[in-house]
Amino acid sequence: MSLMYYVYVATFTMLGLGVLFTLYRLVRGPSVLDRVVCLNTLSVLLVSAIAVEASVRGDTAYFGLMVTIALLGFVGTITAARFAERRAHDRG
């Protein structure tokens, strides 16, 4: 087995651990904003995993999927932040 195989396995292991820790925080998060940040982190980890897989295969077909997931994660986070800001402004 080549060195790149070990790099591939190590990368996916670290990404998997990141997903597990993020899911733990998503479930245990004390506030809604913590959960929103966790969902954004999950989208970043998913895009990273797709990028690694695409680089291993040498395929550029996944580029559109990566951009779409990243944009959805970004727009979702911005929307939740604006909603939270308005809610905090209305309270006090």
Average pLDDT over residues 22-41: 90
Both tokens of residue 44? 């970043």
pLDDT number for residue 7: 93
The string over 15-41, giving b where at least 16 C-beta atoms fall within 10 Å of a residue's C-beta and e elsewhere, is eeebeeebeeebeeeeeeeebbbbbbb
Predicted TM-score (pTM) of this structure: 0.86
pLDDT tier, 29 (very low <50, low <70, confident <90, very high otherwise)? confident
Q: Which residue has the tokens 């195989």?
A: 5
Q: What is the mean pLDDT of the chain?
A: 91
- 43-88 confidence digits (pLDDT tens): 999 999 999 999 989 888 999 999 999 999 999 989 988 888 787 7
Q: Which residue has the tokens 């929103």?
A: 36
**Residues contacting 80, CB < 8 A, separation 6+:** 32, 33, 36
Nearest to 74 by CA among 33, 30, 37: 37
pLDDT at 2 over 80: yes
Is there a contact between 37 and 77 (Cβ–Cβ < 8 Å)?
A: yes
